[in-house]
């Protein structure tokens, strides 16, 4: 039952839901209407993100660390502990990531003037250019993913997704 009316077109989830309704009429499969679409969209987003990062010679984890530094504002530096909180990885993993980014010339380490035992990780000019270019490309690709929605629809969807995510973010806030 396809048509030119956007509200009447069917997608893969419609077929999935219809199949489950036929096979398991005893179950309420209505959550699939939303969450299967979110899951499918997440896969498309993941592909777009990986393509944007690869285009600029970055892995997703590299992008995460570099964007945390970039969002910090000038002088684009954070302690390893702040990077841990921003990226939700273990300290051993972060040390390895900082080592690899430093070897690639994307970050440097310097002593923290406020803490004799501390270190600050700084974004290099090459790191800033790489992350800025990758972020610009990512936003272009994300706009393409959302191109089927108008501005108001995007805002409405963002609000609905925020409502769904807030309880999860609250319980994840204490995660390492």
Average pLDDT over residues 140-160: 96
3 pLDDT higher than 70: no
Name the pTM for this structure: 0.81
The per-residue pLDDT for range 97-116, each reduced to its tens digit, is 999 999 999 999 999 898 88
How many CA atoms are closer than 13 Å to the CA of 103, on its beta-carbon side? 7
109: which residues sit within 8 A by CB, 6+ positions away? 98, 102, 119, 120, 121, 122
Burial of 52 (0-12, 13-18, 19+ CB in 10 A): buried
Domains of the chain: 59-171 (1.10.10.10)
Q: What is the pLDDT of residue 114?
A: 87
pLDDT given for residue 4 in this prediction: 57
pLDDT band at 1 (very low <50, low <70, confident <90, very high): very low
Closest CA to 65 of 130, 138, 141: 130
Burial class, 121, CB count within 10 angstroms (exposed 0-12 / middle 13-18 / buried 19+): buried
Q: Where is pLDDT greater, at 99 or 5? A: 99
What does the block give as tokens for 174?
């204490």
How confident is residue 5, by pLDDT bands cut at 50, 70 and 90?
low
pLDDT, tens digit (0-9, with 9 covering 90-100), for 8-26: 789 999 999 999 999 999 9
Report whether pLDDT(117) > 80. Answer: yes
pLDDT recorded at residue 172: 63
Whether 124 contacts 105, CB under 8 Å: yes
Q: What is the pLDDT of residue 143?
A: 96
């Amino acid at each position: 039952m396809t048509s030119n009316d956007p509200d009447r077109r069917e997608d893969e989830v419609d077929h999935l839901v219809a199949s489950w309704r036929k096979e398991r009429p005893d179950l309420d499969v209505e959550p699939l209407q939303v969450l299967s679409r979110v899951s499918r969209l997440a896969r498309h987003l993941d592909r777009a993100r990986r393509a944007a990062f690869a285009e600029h010679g970055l892995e997703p984890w590299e992008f995460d660390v570099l964007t945390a530094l970039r969002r910090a504002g000038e002088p684009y530096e954070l302690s390893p502990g702040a990077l841990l909180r921003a990226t939700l990885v273990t300290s051993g993993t972060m040390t390895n990531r900082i080592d690899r980014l430093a070897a690639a010339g994307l970050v440097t380490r310097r002593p923290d003037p406020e803490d004799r035992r501390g270190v600050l990780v700084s974004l290099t000019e090459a790191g800033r250019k790489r992350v800025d270019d990758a972020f610009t490309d990512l936003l272009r690709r994300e706009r393409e993913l959302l191109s089927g929605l108008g501005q108001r629809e995007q805002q409405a969807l963002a609000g609905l997704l925020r409502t769904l995510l807030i309880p999860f973010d609250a319980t994840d806030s204490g995660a390492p």
